[in-house]
Amino acid sequence: MIITLTNQKGGCGKSTVTMNLALGTAALNYNTALIDTDEQKSCIETLQDFPKTNLQLFEAGKNVGELVEKIKNKFHFIFIDTPPHSHNIMYNAMAVSDFIIIPLQASPLDIKSAKRTIDACEKVEGKINQKIPCYFLLNRVNPRTKLSKEIGTYIRELYTIPLLQSRLHNRVAYAQSLMYGKSVIEHNRSSDAALEVTKLLREVHRLFQSKNGK
């Protein structure tokens, strides 16, 4: 299953979520690839000194589609991190994806600006003449705030794209764990961050199972 994490807005958590999903999936014994298509190479630079069983890192640019074709039979899961502004890379990654996840911060500014990413996704769907399931993921939500309750309704009023049930909150663990090349789960299995990423992994893996008719 090929999942692209994308949003033309920088700083919404694409790389953080990609790394946690890839590390978490590899730790569950799935053969996992992470393709970093951002020229800043955040994922590669963060993880390259911490080799993991079942996880292979790849770099790509506009050729991401060809790379996916070449490696896809070797992996259960391929996660693709995308850059904020390169349209071609984003389009090419979307075109080879089974699912797209759009991380969003819980603010009207970020939510409104997601429209451009959704338009891009629709353009790709038109080009390949195929629907690509697309989901929003709320990230950096401040726990126990009124906003955290209101934001789901706000999104549903603006878009028809579904929101994943799991959401990630604003927690230092996301930065801290990656200093050691670890997911929040490896870093501290019983932390709140680990629990929410575990829930997200289950939800993403369920999408995989339903796609494969299991």
Where along the sequence are the contacts to ligand ADP (CB under 6 A)? 10-16, 42, 139-140, 168, 170-171, 174-175
Name the minimum Å distance from CB 189 to Mg ion. Answer: 26
Rounded to a whole number of angstroms, the minimum distance from the CB of residue 10 to ligand ADP is 4
Q: Phi first, then psi: what are they for 16, rounded to 5°?
A: -60, -45
- Judged by beta carbon, residue 14 or residue 169, the one nearer Mg ion is 14
**Residue 162 binds which of ligand ADP, Mg ion, none (CB < 5-8 A, kind-dependent):** none
Nearer to Mg ion, 20 or 42 (CB): 42
Number of residues written out for the chain: 214
- Considering the complex, state which of residue 45 and residue 119 has its C-beta at the smaller distance from ligand ADP: 45
Binders of Mg ion among 2-21, rule CB under 5 A? 14-15
Beta bridge partners of 102: 136
Is residue 157 within 8 A of residue 113, CB to CB? The reply is no
**What DSSP line would sit under 47-105, residue for residue?**
HTTS--TTEEEEE-STTHHHHHHHHGGG-SEEEEE--SS-HHHHHHHHHT-SEEEEEEE
- Which one of 6, 32, 42, 183 is in contact with Mg ion (CB under 5 A)? 42
Shortest CB 119 distance to Mg ion, Å = 21
Kindly state the smallest distance separating residue 84's Cβ from ligand ADP, in Å.
6
103 Cβ contact partners less than 8 Å away, ≥ 6 residues apart = 5, 7, 12, 13, 14, 17, 136, 137, 138, 139
Nearer Cβ to ligand ADP (32/139): 139
Q: What angle do CA 133, 139, 144 make, to 5 degrees?
A: 130
Contact residues: Mg ion, CB under 5 A: 14-15, 42
